[in-house]
Chains A and B, each alone.
Chain A
Amino acid sequence: MDENKEKELNTAEDERLKQELEELARTFQEELDKAKAEEALKSETDAQEDAENEGELIQELEDLEHIEEEEDEIPEEELCVCCGEKRRGTKKNPDSEYCYECEKALRHYPFELLNVIIPALAVAFCLYGCYIFSNYMSIYTSAQQAEKYVQQNKLYSAYSAYDTAVNKMKAKNVNGEMIYKRSLDCAYKSGEFLNSSVDTAVFKEWELKLPHLKSVYDIQLESLEMDATRSAIEGIIYQYDVENIEDLPYDKIIKEIDALTDEPAKTAPLIDGETEEEISTTTAYNIKVKRYNRPMILYYQFYISVVCEKDIETQISILEKIKEESPEKTWIYAAMLGDLYNKSGKDTTELCKYMRSINSEDTSADVIEATALRIKGKYDESIEICNKFIDREDIYMYEFCRQKAICYLLKGDYSTAYKAAYEAYSQSTIPLTANLLMICSIATDNTDVYDEIAELYAESEIDLSEEVLAYKDGTMTLEQIFTKGDFDVA
């Protein structure tokens, strides 16, 4: 029984165990199936994703291949003319000959180093030019002021302005040859060239042969010709060693001087104490003088005629020769010719006009005019002219004062005449002013001044003027002195 019972028990236990095992196997199977199903699902998703990605890449690759195929296929006429690789044309400008990148680069074309250096140097040099121009401005303005004066025939003002320009050039170390040249031209025209401060050594010798400096060469040559003429004539005069000037053989000297015109010039002999070296330094150039200077020859003939007290007509004829041969050289003859015209009662209007056309500042023309008016008896007009130049303190102020004094004397206003004569004498103590002051002193009974001047004459062993003495003695009247003869007190 027990055995049976035990058998029954074993069978039940086996049955239960079998059921448990079956249940366990079923659960496991279920889990396994479940896991398998999940795994399968996951794998399927991944595969799907991979498949999708792969599709894209393939698509891209296919696209790229398509593009490459396309580029390879761009016809030459559609290629960018710059790079030659890409298709020409841009969004903005489909007709452009360039691709986008090339067009962008060409619109901002780069600068090379040299591109910038040359303009930068030009700018720097331009600034330097501005500095130079401003530095030279005072030279330009002075020279142009001088040129303006030359155009207006104001030669003395021009000469002065050129002098200022030359000094400014010297101060700035500027070697302005053309300004030196113009200054010398002006000095020559005004007769100041022999006193000119222009250093002619600034010109190079070979330059003087060039056309733009021809006038400098001509002035240099004429200056040397004048020097040679002066020396030759002085040689002629000094060979006649006479005690009295009247003993000079006038005709012979005039003939000898005149003969120089056709003679070849000899080099000027050295002045006492002067050396060859000094001469070469002064002249600076090796300019050979070939002939004597004709105006200078005539001038010396006039000088001899004055010394030998030849008549006015002879003197006038010599000066008129200069006027005829070298009319532009008014500084040699005009003032003296005008004076002689006045003394001989000739009309001076044309001469004065011509003198002013050469140099409007040549106040010797006004002196001649004032004298001519005085001689014609137009005292007030003469005084008016004189006052104008006395107020300006002109270089001929003494002569204007003198003419004014004569006018007042002839008008009978002796005190005013005395004042004017005294002013003339204080300006220039020449016999002309001294004689007039003596006459005015006599007219105003101011014997102190008369005695003082007479004493000076005596000390200098100079004879008193016959007209002054005659006026003092009462043998001559003012009218006889100033309205007859040479119309002046000699």
Chain B
Amino acid sequence: MTALYVIVKYFTVVGSYVKAFLEHVCCRVYEVLIEDGRYLPANEMCGHIEHEIIKRRSVSFGVCFFPFLFNLLFGIIFISVGAMNVYYVGEFFTKSGFVNLANFLFLWLGVSFLSNLFPSVEDALTLKELIYGKDTKLFVKIIAAPVFAILFCGAYLERYCITFVTSVAVSFAVPTIYSYILPLLAV
């Protein structure tokens, strides 16, 4: 499984790299001790930063959530342009007859970023422990539930490379999604 995980991470190298970079930035901002600063080691930490066990709830949430948020934004932009231009408009070639690499690159980047949204399983478990521990107030538990659920489930999906499949599926669904959104934008 780790081999497949690493292959997918290397195939979606830009998304993995930027995700790790964003984790690195968050760790620096929150002064979290980084134990292994390599972004793409060929193991289950590929695309993640190995850091100390975080003991503060807000820090753990920040380290898990902000890289997710930024990769999601990047992914949405890339996949929108790529999927719309490739699947919907069908701009496979330029007017001069060459393959339109930019559109395929956008599509790949979109899949790449959306495949690398979630924290590592260890981080997700830490977050779970901190949010759903005995000391947390019920209010916080309820408020954090939706985001936590996404991050926690996503971490496991990513561990088994399912996010790659879902991001490819999302790319196919983009034209349909935009068929609902664009008329609203046009108004």
Enumerate chain A interface residues (CB-CB to B < 8 A): 98, 103, 106-109, 111, 115-116, 118-119, 122, 125-126, 129-130, 132-133, 136-137, 139-141, 143-145, 147-148, 169, 173-181, 204
Contacts and interface: CB of A to CB of B under 8 A. Distances in A.
Given A109-B24, A118-B14, A132 B91 contact: no
Interface stretch (B27-35, B127-135, B142-150, B159-167): B27-35
Given A107-B32, A130-B77, A139-B89, A148 B183 contact: yes
A126 B78 contact: yes
B183 to A, nearest CB: 7
A115 B182 contact: no
Contact of B95 (A115, A143, A175): A175
B106 interface: yes
B171 interface: no
Interface residues of B, number: 42
Contacts of B183: 141, 144-145, 148
Contact of B93 (A111, A144, A204): A204
Nearest to B73: A126
Contacts of A144: 178-179, 182-183
B80 interface: yes
A172 B57 CA distance: 51
Given A106-B35, A143-B89, A129 B94 contact: no
B172 interface: no
A80 to B, nearest CB: 12
Q: Is the interface of A mostly helix, strand, loop or mixed?
A: helix
B106 A129 contact: yes
B33 A106 contact: yes
B179 A147 contact: yes
B186 interface: yes
B121 to A, nearest CB: 22
B91 A122 contact: no
B88 interface: yes
21 contacts: A108-B31, A119-B21, A119-B22, A125-B109, A129-B78, A129-B81, A129-B106, A132-B81, A133-B80, A144-B179, A144-B182, A145-B186, A148-B179, A169-B89, A175-B93, A175-B94, A176-B90, A178-B87, A178-B90, A179-B90, A181-B90
Contacts of A119: 17-18, 21-22
Contact of A122 (B28, B74, B90, B178): B74
Contacts of A130: 77, 81
A144 B28 CA distance: 45
B118 interface: no
A379 B26 CA distance: 79
A145 to B, nearest CB: 8
B41 interface: no
Interface of B: 14, 17-18, 21-22, 24, 27-28, 31-35, 37, 39, 74, 77-78, 80-81, 84-85, 87-95, 100, 102, 105-106, 109, 178-179, 182-183, 185-186
Contacts of B91: 174-177
Nearest to B80: A133
A178 B83 CA distance: 12
Contacts of A141: 182-183, 185-186
Contact of B24 (A115, A137, A173, A179): A115
Given A140-B88, A143-B88, A106 B34 contact: yes
B89 A179 contact: yes
Nearest to B94: A175
Contact of A118 (B21, B81, B106, B179): B21
B84 A133 contact: yes
A148 B31 CA distance: 53
A98 B51 CA distance: 13
Contact of B182 (A103, A140, A174, A175): A140
B86 to A, nearest CB: 9
B109 A176 contact: no
Contacts of A139: 89
A122 B18 CA distance: 8
A140 B92 CA distance: 16
Contact of A136 (B32, B85, B94): B85
Contacts of B178: 140, 144
